[in-house]
């Protein structure tokens, strides 16, 4: 019971000992004149307008950057698609010509030649499938790159639109004279 009373007394002593210091430690705010308050409000308004203008400019810069990046990605993807499609066409052309030669060899009467030809056709088909899948994968990647570039262009246009919507009022507020 005695310990409880001592702790109770110590907490009150600590609370009341800090009370006078906290009330005396505060400085009295200086009263500003009407003109000084008007000047301070005008400065605050200009500061808010400048930060709003900077934010809008950041949107415009980001949008421009996204559009530029998207255009570059789309151009690269178009070139890659053209290259890969020509590679695919060449692969198909070579496969068809080789297959045609092997089909002619299949029409011989020699059984051993036909068996060897069948094996060559299987190997040719396997190689063609692997090469074709590899080229198809490259084409899909190029299409994804094109879509990503297009997405960046759309996002960039949205950012520019939003930036313009924010930029005009901010600039108007910055240029507006204060009436105080």
pLDDT band at 6; cut points 50, 70, 90: low
Ranked by mean pLDDT, the top range of 32-36, 49-53, 124-128 is: 124-128
Tens digits of residue pLDDT in 111-130: 898 899 999 999 999 999 99
Cβ contact 26:137 at 8 Å: no
Cβ contact 156:65 at 8 Å: yes
pLDDT at position 69 over 50? yes
pLDDT band at 177; cut points 50, 70, 90: low
Write out the DSSP string of 48-65: HHHHHHHHHHHHHHHHHH
Cβ contact 91:134 at 8 Å: no
CA gap 69, 152 in Å, rounded: 7
pLDDT at position 141 is 96
Cβ contact 152:94 at 8 Å: no
pLDDT band at 91; cut points 50, 70, 90: very high
141 DSSP 8-state letter: H
Place of tokens 């990605």: 73
Q: Which fold has domain 38-173?
A: Helix Hairpins (1.10.287)
User: What rounded mean pLDDT belongs to the chain?
Assistant: 84
**Ranges 10-14, 40-44, 78-82, 157-161: which has the least confidence:** 10-14
Domain limits, the chain: 38-173
Long-range contacts of 93-96 (CB under 8 A, 24+ apart): 95/124, 95/128
**Ranges 26-30, 80-84, 96-100: which has the least confidence:** 26-30
């Amino acid at each position: 019971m005695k310990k409880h009373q001592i702790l109770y007394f110590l907490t009150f002593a600590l609370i009341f000992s800090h009370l006078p210091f906290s009330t005396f430690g505060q400085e009295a705010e200086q009263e500003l004149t009407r003109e000084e308050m008007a000047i301070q409000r005008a400065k605050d308004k200009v500061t808010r307008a400048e930060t709003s203008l900077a934010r809008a400019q950041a949107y415009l810069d980001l949008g421009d950057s996204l559009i530029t990046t998207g255009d570059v990605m789309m151009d690269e993807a178009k070139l890659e698609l053209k290259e890969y499609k020509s590679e695919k066409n060449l692969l198909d052309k070579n496969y068809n010509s080789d297959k045609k030669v092997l089909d002619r060899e299949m029409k011989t009467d020699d059984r051993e030649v036909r068996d060897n030809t069948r094996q060559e056709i299987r190997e040719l088909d396997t190689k063609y499938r692997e090469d074709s899948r590899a080229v198809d994968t490259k084409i899909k990647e190029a299409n994804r790159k094109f879509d990503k570039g297009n997405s960046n262009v759309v996002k960039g246009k949205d950012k520019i639109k939003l930036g313009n919507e924010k930029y005009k009022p901010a600039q108007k507020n910055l240029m507006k004279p204060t009436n105080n």
